[in-house]
Amino acid sequence: MGNLSGKVAIITGASVGIGRAVAQRLAKEGASVVITYAHKADEAEELVGEIHNLGGQALALQTDFTKLADIRQLFTKTIEQFNRLDILVISGSAPRVVKPVAEVTEQEFDYVFAFNAKGNFFAMQEAAKHMAQGGRIVTFSTPYTVQPQPNLAVTAGSKAAIEQFTFALAKELGERGITVNSVMPGPTTTENFKGTISSEDQAQLAQMSPLRRLAEPGEVADVVMFLVSDKASYVTGHNLHATGGLP
């Protein structure tokens, strides 16, 4: 019996990257998992099959995180399938807009905030409505909210909004024993990261950490696992830095 046996978890953006590692980790601990994907149906169904082969339960649902109707349908179908919700991990994120403030278009701004800020807000709202006593909500932040960088203002701003939603909801749901926390991962060796960041920049980022390396997705998943476990029952309203000591 795993530590999460009998629990039901929604993990958004779980077809690839950190979200996929989180889904694998929680399923290994016995949770039934609902994973969302935007476009990568093959990867999502592959993960569902992997979990089923290990004796777990999983369901993949295509979800547009910019649309409130899709978000509500995600929670409705989860309750219909598993009759409860104990854990929400919002790991999906809009692609970064890497541009000076002066060059960001209205369309780019609206999409990032619709996906990150609006999507997170209304997913957290649905969780507040449906989550069982003692549930767990985990969001994802970014180091850019505490260490601002040029050309990343839109991403940082949308993630800062997520942090504030997290802290506020932790106070609202505390009486129900529900904890709400955020994870701030440092550079992590996901396929997307390796495909969009040059090897030279990856090496430079690794040297900036006292550990002299980048994070693996499974290491971030372990942090999430801690926050959704009973061991973190008194941790709420916190932004846990998993940055490898990066400034």
Lowest-confidence range among 22-26, 55-59, 132-136, 209-213? 209-213
- pLDDT on residue 247: 66
Res 125 pLDDT > 50? yes
Average pLDDT over residues 151-171: 97
- Give the start-to-end residue ranges of the domains of the chain: 8-240
- pLDDT on residue 185: 93
- Share of residues in the chain with pLDDT > 90 (%): 78
Res 94 pLDDT > 70? yes
Res 9 pLDDT > 80? yes
- pLDDT on residue 168: 98
Res 118 pLDDT > 60? yes
What is the four-CA torsion angle of 118, 124, 126, 128, rounded to 10 degrees? -150
Assign 1 a pLDDT band (cuts: 50, 70, 90).
very low
Average pLDDT over residues 11-15: 93
Class of domain 8-240: alpha beta
Assign 195 a pLDDT band (cuts: 50, 70, 90).
low
Average pLDDT over residues 133-149: 94
Buried/exposed code over 90-118 (b: 16+ C-beta within 10 A; e: otherwise): bbbbbebbeeeeeebeeeebebbbbbbbb
- pLDDT on residue 197: 76
Res 148 pLDDT > 70? yes
Q: Which residue has the higher pLDDT, 103 or 206?
A: 103
- pLDDT on residue 55: 92
- pLDDT on residue 165: 98
- Share of residues in the chain with pLDDT > 70 (%): 97
- pLDDT on residue 171: 98
What length does the chain have?
247
Average pLDDT over residues 192-215: 80
